[in-house]
Structures are given as structure tokens and as C-alpha cells.
């Protein structure tokens, strides 16, 4: 639907420095940073917080070492290398964003390989990764890998794994009263005669026009619809389909690790997450999930069973419960469909007041917010928002954090 060039409505209007659209990590982090920097800002999202990529992520805050498997630090790993320390300051309560209520699931990630060992040994010994990776002696292996049949060398990365629901709840609590749920946002967007976007709200009571010096679209895959509604051609988006595997099994092994194969992407990435019934689920990504995107659920489950049996022949997964989660990663369009190296935030074409952002990784949300802040005009001292926020609060509900995707999954 293209709502471009609709005339501005003559009803009451509320004006903000910025209105963010999209309630995943990108929108929530940006909201927090903008509020702290003195901007009058609200966030609108069309469903519960985190639904989409953020809650489907594996929660790893990584310093990029997994991107260095080709043997040298590339641009992706250079950009991301500062992020773990940045997040750590936030988790300690001393950073740009207070994440002191966010839980960590793990303070490390393992990496092992039984096929490309020679290349890896020299790589891990190189200066580039010194201090960020330790070789794990056999006596200190985690319980899961304490078996004679385990082959290969094991390394420990300092990468953290966050409990993403607690991260979202932390950001929502920091920004209480500034986050609202509204359906059909794309259909409500229009452009005025000066080529500025605005939103028409006529849910209940008096119609209201929402105006902002800048609209910031951080709606993941939904950015494309928001841009199309305003007739914007750029920036274009690419979607990378994945099909993750969710495994509920009887072993008491919360585990976080990449098994390396011949590809640049880890052959298998395992993270472990709490489930509502008290179980821990293993969530499987990596090459298996990339290849799995073109498989049926049944084919991927069969491939996943085989993979786990090959990697852990001492375990029996025959009575484990497998299900799959198809999900797409939303990114700015790259040449040859490459993976973007960095977070992306740029103005939209064909409209005067819209910025569009994709963090491309949970880890890079701080980087995205920094890029957005650098592109904003200073806060407008003439804007007073207390009444505006009260008016909005009367019309719109506050979204909750969405459930983890595997709570709804059963094969
Ligand atoms: C399987 C998987 C595993 C991953 N693992 C990791 C990892 O371990 N570490 C890492 O760093 N990165 C990881 N990522 C990447 C990371 O999850 C994403 O880069 C990040 O979550 C994107 O956040 P976002 O806020 O831009 O988008 P999303 O999380 O998709 O949020 C967008 C939000 O916008 C809302 N929305 C959508 N359309 C509209 C609309 N029209 N109007 C209003 N609101 C709308 C949605 O409700 C949603 O809440 C992973 C991604 C996937 C898919």
C-alpha cells in the first residue's frame, strides 16, 4: 500500500523529537540512548516486544572470532571486536545503557573442530586472538565433552550469552511510559506537502496526528513495508532465511559452543535456554540452520539427529523432542548477498524525516544506536512531551515481552 502524498489531517497533533517504530533490540536500545541524551521520543511497535529476530536469536554477544575462521581478522571482526566490553559495562551498570537487571546464561562459548585442526591451531596461536581464546585441557572439558570418544581440540572464547527475555524486560523497564503498541502502523503512515512523514491515529476518541523531527524505522523485516507505505525506494533490504532446530532432551548439559567444519560458518552452533516447564532446550544454528532453510521440517529434524549422533556418539537422542523454527535475518541489501560487516543506519530516500536501521546482529545494537545518534539534529527545546505522552497512554496499550519462540513449538 502506498500512502504517499495524502493531505495532512486537521486534528490535534503530538510532536516528538523522534518516534521509533519496531520493538526489537534495535528499537529498544535506540530508545534508551535517545532518552538519556535528552530527546523526547516514544517507540511504537505492532506486537509484543522482541517477537521476530531478537527472541529467535542465540543471545551471543560475540567479539567476532567466529568470523575469523578463514585465518585472518577481516573487517567484520574488527568492527565487532569492541562490543563485548561495551556490553559488559552496560551489564555492570556503568555503561551507556543500564543492563544491570539482565541475566547472563553463560560467560563463555566453546569452539571445537575435528576436521580443520591444523589451520585452527596456528590461527588460535596468532597474535590477533591472543587473550580472547584459551585452549581447554582435557581435564577441564565441560561434562558434555568428558568422553573418550570426543575428538579434536577444544577452545574457550570469552563471548557471553545473554538471557534475551531479561534483556528486553530490562530495556522496557528503563523506558516505561515511552513504549506503545499499535497495529497497522504502515497503513497509518503518510507524507505531508513538505515530504515529511506523519502518522494518523484514530483508535478511540479524538483523532491524533503523530509528528516527529525524525522517524526511526527499526522494524527488522517490517522496515520494507514501512518504507513502501511512504513510497521510499531506498535503502533496500535482503532477507537471509534460516531454519533453527529446537531440541528437548534428557541430558543435564547446558552447553554453548560452535563445532567448526569445512565452511566459514560453524558447522553447528549450540546454545542452551531455559524453558517454561523447567527444562533446558538446546537451540541449534550455524550451517545446519542455513542449509535447513531449504529443507522441510522433517528433513531438517532427520539431518539434526544425524549431526548430533555424529558429534556426540556417546549420547542417545532417540527419545529427544525435536522441532524447527523458520526465521529470516533482515539486513540492508549487500552486493552478492554478502553478510553485512556492520550495523546500518541511513536516511530513507523520497522522504525528508526518516532514518532506517538494521543492527544486523544483536551484538551490534550499541553500534547502531551510536550511528543513529550521530545523524540526529539536537533535541528541540521547544518540544514539551508530558501532555503528549499522557494523551498517547490513554489511546494505546503498553506491549509485554513476547514468549520465547520455542514455548509455542512442539513437533
Ligand atoms: C536464528 C537467529 C540467531 C541469531 N543469533 C544471534 C546471536 O547469537 N548474536 C547476535 O549478535 N545476533 C544474532 N542474530 C541476529 C539478531 O537477532 C538480529 O540482528 C537482531 O535481533 C535484529 O533486531 P531488530 O530489532 O532489528 O529486529 P527484530 O528483532 O526483528 O525486531 C523488529 C521489531 O519490529 C516490529 N515490527 C515489524 N514490522 C513492524 C511494523 N510494520 N510496524 C511496527 N513494528 C513492526 C516487530 O514486532 C519486531 O518486534 C540472530 C538472528 C537469528 C534469526
Query: Over the stretch 4-21, which tens digit does the pLDDT of each residue have?
Result: 444 343 458 899 999 999
Quote the Cα angle for 96-368-332, to 5°: 170
Residues of the chain with pLDDT under 50: 1-2, 4-10, 72, 411
At 41 the pLDDT is 96
Q: Of the residues 42, 161, 219, 357, which should be mutated to test ligand 1's pocket, given the most ligand atoms within 8 Å of the CB?
A: 219
Which runs of consecutive H residues, i.e. helices, occur in 198-258?
223-229
- On the CB side of 273, CA atoms within 13 Å amount to 26
Q: Of the residues 52, 180, 324, 397, which should be mutated to test ligand 1's pocket, given the most ligand atoms within 8 Å of the CB?
A: 52
From ligand 1's centre to the CA of 24, what distance in Å? Answer: 6
The answer to whether the CB of 96 falls within 8 A of the CB of 121 is: no
At 80 the pLDDT is 82
At 10 the pLDDT is 45
At 121 the pLDDT is 60
Q: Please name the residues in contact with 145: beta carbons below 8 A apart, sequence gap of 6 or more.
A: 110, 112, 154
The answer to whether the CB of 267 falls within 8 A of the CB of 290 is: no
What is the distance in angstroms between the CA of the first residue and the CA of the last residue of the chain? 36
| Ligand 1 within 6 A of CB of 292 | no
At 266 the pLDDT is 87
From ligand 1's centre to the CA of 345, what distance in Å? Answer: 15
Atom 6 (ligand 1): residue with closest C-alpha? 57
The answer to whether the CB of 223 falls within 8 A of the CB of 237 is: yes
Whole-angstrom distance, CA of residue 359 vs CA of residue 336: 19
From ligand 1's centre to the CA of 153, what distance in Å? Answer: 33
At 409 the pLDDT is 66
At 158 the pLDDT is 85
Whole-angstrom distance, CA of residue 406 vs CA of residue 205: 39
From ligand 1's centre to the CA of 51, what distance in Å? Answer: 7
The answer to whether the CB of 83 falls within 8 A of the CB of 25 is: no
At 167 the pLDDT is 98
Pick from 211, 272, 244: nearest CA to 19: 211
At 5 the pLDDT is 43
Whole-angstrom distance, CA of residue 267 vs CA of residue 286: 6
Whole-angstrom distance, CA of residue 40 vs CA of residue 379: 7
At 383 the pLDDT is 85
C-alpha cell at 248: 528437548
Q: Angle, to 10 degrees, between the axis of helix 365-374 and the axis of helix 83-91? A: 90
State the fold for domain 12-335+338-408: FAD/NAD(P)-binding domain (3.50.50)
Amino acid at each position: 500500500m502506498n500512502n504517499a502524498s495524502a493531505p495532512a489531517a486537521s486534528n490535534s497533533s503530538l510532536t516528538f523529537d523522534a518516534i521509533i517504530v519496531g520493538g526489537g533490540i534495535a528499537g529498544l536500545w535506540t530508545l534508551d540512548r535517545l532518552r538519556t541524551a535528552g530527546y523526547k521520543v516514544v517507540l511504537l511497535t505492532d506486537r509484543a516486544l522482541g517477537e521476530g529476530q531478537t527472541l529467535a536469536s542465540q543471545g551471543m554477544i560475540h567479539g567476532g572470532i567466529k568470523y575469523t575462521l578463514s585465518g585472518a581478522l577481516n573487517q567484520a571482526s574488527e568492527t565487532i571486536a569492541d562490543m563485548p566490553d561495551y556490553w559488559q559495562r552496560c551489564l555492570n551498570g556503568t555503561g551507556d545503557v543500564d543492563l544491570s537487571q539482565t541475566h547472563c546464561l553463560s560467560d563463555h562459548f566453546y569452539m571445537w573442530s575435528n576436521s580443520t585442526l591444523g589451520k585452527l591451531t596456528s590461527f588460535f596461536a596468532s597474535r590477533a586472538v591472543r587473550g580472547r581464546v584459551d585452549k581447554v585441557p582435557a581435564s577441564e572439558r565441560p561434562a558434555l565433552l568428558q568422553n573418550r570418544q570426543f575428538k579434536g581440540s577444544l577452545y574457550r572464547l570469552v563471548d557471553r550469552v545473554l538471557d534475551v527475555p531479561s534483556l528486553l524486560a530490562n530495556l522496557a523497564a528503563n523506558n516505561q511510559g515511552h513504549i506503545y503498541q499499535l497495529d497497522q502502523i504502515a497503513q497509518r503512515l503518510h507524507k505531508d506537502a513538505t515530504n515529511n512523514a506523519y502518522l494518523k491515529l484514530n483508535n478511540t476518541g479524538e483523532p491524533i496526528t503523530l509528528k516527529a523531527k525524525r522517524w526511526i524505522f527499526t522494524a527488522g523485516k517490517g522496515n520494507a513495508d514501512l518504507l513502501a507505505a511512504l513510497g521510499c525506494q531506498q535503502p533496500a533490504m535482503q532477507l537471509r532465511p534460516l531454519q533453527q532446530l529446537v531440541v528437548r532432551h534428557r541430558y543435564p548439559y547446558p552447553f554453548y559452543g560452535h563445532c567448526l567444519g569445512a565452511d566459514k560458518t560453524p558447522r553447528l552452533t549450540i546454545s542452551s535456554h531455559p524453558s517454561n516447564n523447567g527444562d533446558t532446550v538446546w537451540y541449534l544454528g550455524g550451517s545446519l540452520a542455513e542449509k535447513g532453510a531449504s529443507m522441510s521440517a522433517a528433513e531438517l529434524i532427520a539431518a539434526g539427529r544425524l549431526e548430533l549422533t555424529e558429534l556426540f556418539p556417546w549420547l542417545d537422542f532417540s527419545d529427544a523432542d525435536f522441532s524447527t523454527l523458520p526465521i529470516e535475518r533482515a539486513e540492508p541489501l549487500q552486493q552478492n548477498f554478502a553478510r553485512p560487516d556492520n550495523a546500518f543506519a541511513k536516511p530513507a530516500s523520497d522522504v525528508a524525516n526518516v532514518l532506517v536501521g538494521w543492527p544486523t546482529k544483536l551484538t551490534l545494537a550499541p553500534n547502531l544506536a551510536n550511528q543513529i545518534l550521530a545523524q540526529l539534529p539536537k533535541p528541540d527545546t521547544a518540544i514539551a512531551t508530558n501532555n503528549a505522552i499522557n494523551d498517547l497512554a490513554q489511546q494505546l496499550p503498553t506491549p509485554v515481552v513476547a514468549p520465547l519462540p520455542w514455548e509455542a513449538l512442539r513437533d
